[in-house]
Amino acid sequence: MRYLGIDFGSKRVGLALSDESGTLAFPYKVLLNDKALLPEVALIITEQKVKLVVMGESKDFNGKDNAIAKSADEFKQALEKLTHKKVEYEPEFLTSVQAGRNYARRPEASRGGNAPKESGMLDASAAAIILQSYLDRIR
């Protein structure tokens, strides 16, 4: 079973896909959060034969909804309605920071390689962290 992970942001939305066995998550792509977002994600779900979507749950350090939570929930509901696929929340805390730190440890970072944010993949890496957390939890 293939899963799609989503790191929902006000400007960009990171996507990650699992392998066919639903064991490992990989950064996939970053989309702009604009009018084309919903149909683009729906198309990816169809093309990649995604069975379940996992979205990072937008909460602050006190466990309360953060500034993006309402928009994220509206997107979640619209995606479920359009695709007829279940979208589950996975707790996320500082996944973008963690994704940036993971990049900093890579050899190309010390050689001056593009950081994920510069190459547009930081949000997809954060989505992969969210998705991997979910996959690890359900196994």
**Averaged pLDDT of the chain:** 86
The reported pLDDT for the residue numbered 65 is 81
| Whether pLDDT at 118 is above 70 | no
| Whether pLDDT at 120 is above 90 | no
Per residue in 66-106, pLDDT tens?
889 999 999 999 999 999 999 999 998 655 545 455 444 54
| Burial label, 49 (beta-carbon count in 10 A; 0-12, 13-18, 19+) | exposed
Domains of the chain: 2-138 (3.30.420.140)
The whole-number average pLDDT for the span 105-118 is: 49
Distance of CA 97 to the CA centre of its chain: 14
Percent of the chain with pLDDT over 70: 80
